Structure 1
Amino acid sequence: MKKELIHKIVHASGIKKGELVLIHFWGDNENKEIADQFVIETAALGASPFLLMQSRSINRKLFMTAAEESFSEAYFEKLSGFDVILDVFAYQPIVIDLSEEKMPTYRRYIRSLFYKLMEAKKFLQIRLPTAENAKESGLMPEDFISRMEAAYDIDYEELRLEAEKMEVQKAREIILHTEGDHTLRLSLSGRKWHIDAGDGDMPCGEIYIAPIEEATNGSISFKTLFFEGMRYENVLLEIENGIVAHANIPELQAFFDEQAPENKTICELGFGLNKNVRELCGYTVLDEKMAGSFHIAIGANTMFGGKNKAPIHIDLVGQADIEVIQ
């Protein structure tokens, strides 16, 4: 990853002078130069960086021999005083090849680790543009890396200012108008908008809210919809009292038929703002950030101001005309 991009990311994170910052790096030695650059950029801001590497190869050897008593509560308490966590991954976190006998110790370690790290004032997840991370995207490595580097190479201050000025933040209701004269009305009264402009999930570029769960009604169309790894064309969804009631695609209808109400509740409305994400590719991390796009989601939203508890959260990204009702 280019040093210039790491510089932009760290500066956009909102790290302040005097803060204690943990660079929690999922990667091996071939990627350590990237981790070191995050440390350097953090120190340049006047903060105090610490580096903790989570290497798959080393962790496998470590937890093949670690006793159950290893990594006591005292160990995790040492990780409780950080102001900011930069959770940077060159490959998918947590995944490790261990025997069933040794896996419980590793799971306890990971669970205790994240419980403690999430106590920090700020927790950022930063996906690196690597061939390993491309595996979860469904994209070819070269395409993935190119798209991710572009998404990171933005003016973060301009993005934040644009988000703060968006008229949708004054809305009591929003109506999405989509192809075929379909409209979806969402009520937002009392709910708070969240801006993702570099201090949350990376790459960034969206503004989102948890709508009133039972008050979303209407229909919405998607010329192209990527859903659970599949691509569908000319999709129409009908929503009644916040729940997806019907889909015109049999495979999608079969999915919704199998779900409990909380898993098919409209839980989020968001708008993409990243001008360097220029087309949908099927990788939600990028698609929902595309400038000019909207996304609704089904499932859990308690983490950003909603009340719907669910084991899933699936984003549906499309394009629409937006009507704001104040």
Structure 2
Amino acid sequence: MAGKSTMARKQRPIEAAGVVVLDWHADGSGGEPKVLVVHRPDYDDWSLPKGKLEPDEDVQVCAVREVAEETGITVRLGSPLGTISYPVGDRTKVVHWWAGTPTGGDLLVNGTPSTESGDQEVDRVEWWSISKAEHRLSYSDEAELLDRAVAAGPTGSVVLVRHAKAMSRKHWTGKDWLRPLMRRGRRQSERLALLLEAYGITRAVTSTSTRCVQTLEPFSRRTGIDLVTVPELSEEGYEDDPKGSREVMAELVGRARADLDAPMVVCGHRPVLPMMREALQVADKPMLVAEVLVVHHNRDGHPMAHERVKPSF
């Protein structure tokens, strides 16, 4: 036992996140895209924008934040591209990657602002052709990520959310559809707002039940996007008319998949989630309260990848 006290504890990896930002309309014809790259003077390298997580930050939120800070460009996340790991001193750094699409902002051509000491994290930001990036990116693993993102093409997303933690049924004396979120659920909904914003949600749909509406309200307040309430997605509506609920969900998913630039979130209940997942063509698996399922689709509306984001508390 004495020997254990002298053993060095394995250190947790350094977590970071980045985005392969592709502008698919750069040439005006929807042909070969341009990719966003940065030059870092401390390393004298050309790389894709990325950075370390802040305390208690979701990796998706970090990825979008880092792109904005390093380049001035706002983005929405597309398909996940996996991770890249490499040693940093006596620790391992793990970078989570997504494809992404620019949504606004102004390019920081001259890089990020200098610190008081005159240091600059990024001193040049440019849009490159894919062929130029394949030859001039400083790291081969990032060039491989770029090839993967280009091969996947532009994508859209539909996000399914199970409502955040609500008051227990046994402690609620009113009508069940009026049952509100607990304090924990309200905290979960605030964090969900940032996550949904990272995926560039433009349409927010929810069951009419209070706990679902309250789950998406922080996102609505942050973005100014009005919530669309749909009674057919409530527990009561699904129980009364399962066929009608399926038809409504199918119509919502069809509309979202017809427009890559209009990602949608839908918030529902545990008994209704299997039907909702079926409409998204994803295998049914139980979801935790405040858990998120992101389903990415291509131009033809076919699902290409999906992500599960579990709540951190």
Determine if the TM-score, normalized by the shorter chain, exceeds 0.5. Answer: no
- TM-score scaled by length of structure 2: 0.26
Structure possessing the higher relative contact order (Cα contacts under 8 Å, 6 or more residues apart): 2
